[in-house]
Amino acid sequence: IDESHKTNDNHLLDQLIQQRDALRARTKTLFNPQFGSIFRTHNNPTYFSRRLFRYSDIYMSFVTNLCNYSMNHIFCPRRGLLPHESNISQVHIQDNQSNLP
């Protein structure tokens, strides 16, 4: 890779990061500074979000997206892993075992 391309790429990346940071700061000023997200505290989900997601996980961009489902549709929450369970899918394990001699 040419050094000039590397320099241009780094410059472009820096500009994009600055734009992202400016948008984040601007977005934060749109809300009351005394209130944060009801779903997250820093990187951790709030108690409210954990309770909500336990019973319903139908988060979507627009409520009208529900019109795409029948009135008889049953929404089921995603299955969460317990601490002792692996997050590697069984399919991935089976694929790797089939490659063994």
User: What pLDDT, on the 0 to 100 scale, is given for residue 95?
Assistant: 56
User: What pLDDT, on the 0 to 100 scale, is given for residue 29?
Assistant: 83
Residue 79 lies in a domain: no
Residue 53 lies in a domain: yes
CA dist 98 and 11 (Å) reads: 46
Span 50-98, pLDDT tens digits: 887 777 667 777 888 889 989 888 877 666 666 666 666 555 555 555 5
What six digits make up the tokens of 60? Answer: 């979507």
Residue 84 lies in a domain: no
- pLDDT-derived band at 8 (thresholds 50, 70, 90) equals confident
What six digits make up the tokens of 80? Answer: 């969460």
Residue 96 lies in a domain: no
Cα–Cα nearest to 74, from 50, 57, 60: 57
Count of domains forming the chain: 1
- Angle 32-65-54 (CA atoms, 0-180°, nearest 5)? 65
SS3 75: coil
Residue 73 lies in a domain: no
pTM above 0.85, yes or no: no
Residue 74 lies in a domain: no
Query: Which residue range forms the structural domain that includes residue 36?
Result: 1-67
